[in-house]
Structures are given as C-alpha cells and as structure tokens.
C-alpha cells in the first residue's frame, strides 16, 4: 500500500530541511568568498543554473516532476 502524504512528509521532512540548509550554506560560502575578491561581481554560469534550479522549486506549478525538470536544466541538450 502506498504511503499517505503525511507519512511521506514525516519521513522526509528532516532530510529535506537538511538539504535546504546545506544549499543555503553553500551559497553563503560563495558569497563570502566573492566578497573577499577585489571585484564583487563574481559570476559563473553554474551559479545561474543553481539559482534557476532553486526558482524551479518555488514554482507554483502543478507539474510533479521537479527532479526530472531539474536534471534537464542541468543537462547539455544542444
């Protein structure tokens, strides 16, 4: 029998919380390191991808396949 949404959330909440905190800390780390550089305009296409992926998580979309869409975002499709 499939788990209920509540059962899934009970099981996944702490791990998802942990993953989000790690992402926040990684972005803070990049910010701090770029602040220490002479020019504060550090940019990198991978950072853009990360920001797009984070935006994908916050979309009010009914599409359930976030992980698939995120992997496509990180894929070289040309």
Partner 1 sequence: MQIIQPHYHAIARTAQDYERMAMSGVVAVAEPAFWAGFDRLYPETFLDYFRQISEFEPTRAAEYGIKHYCWVAVNPKEAENPELSREVLKHMPEFYEKPTVLGVGEIGFHKTTKNEEEIFEAQVEQAIKYDQLILIHTPHLQDKVRGTKRTLEVLSHMNVNPERVWIDHVEEHTIREPLEAGYWVGFTLYPVTKCSPKRAVDMLEMYGHERILVNSSADWGPSDPFTLQQCVVQFRARGYSVQDAIEIFHNNPARFLGQNPKFDIKPIQLETIEDEISSNLV
Of residues 28, 31, 44, 68, which one binds partner 1 by CB under 8 A? 28
* Beta carbons within 8 Å of 71's beta carbon, 6+ residues apart: none
User: Among 15, 38, 41, 78, which residue sits at the site for partner 1 (rule: CB under 8 A)?
Assistant: 15
Q: How far apart are CA 18 and CA 14, in angstroms?
A: 6
Closer to partner 1 by CB, 15 or 38: give it: 15
**Rule CB under 8 A: is residue 29 a binding residue for partner 1?**
yes
User: Is 9 or 26 the residue whose CB approaches partner 1 more closely?
Assistant: 26
Say which residues have a Cβ less than 8 Å from residue 47's Cβ, sequence separation at least 6. Answer: 30
Binding site for partner 1 (CB under 8 A): 14-15, 18, 21-22, 25-26, 28-29, 32
């Amino acid at each position: 029998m499939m788990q209920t949404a509540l059962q899934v959330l009970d099981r996944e909440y702490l791990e998802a919380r942990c993953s989000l905190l790690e992402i926040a800390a990684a972005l803070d780390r990049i910010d701090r390191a770029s602040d220490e550089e002479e020019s504060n305009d550090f940019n990198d296409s991978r950072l853009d991808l990360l920001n797009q992926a984070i935006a994908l998580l916050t979309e009010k979309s009914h599409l359930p396949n976030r992980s698939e869409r995120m992997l496509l975002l990180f894929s070289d499709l040309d």
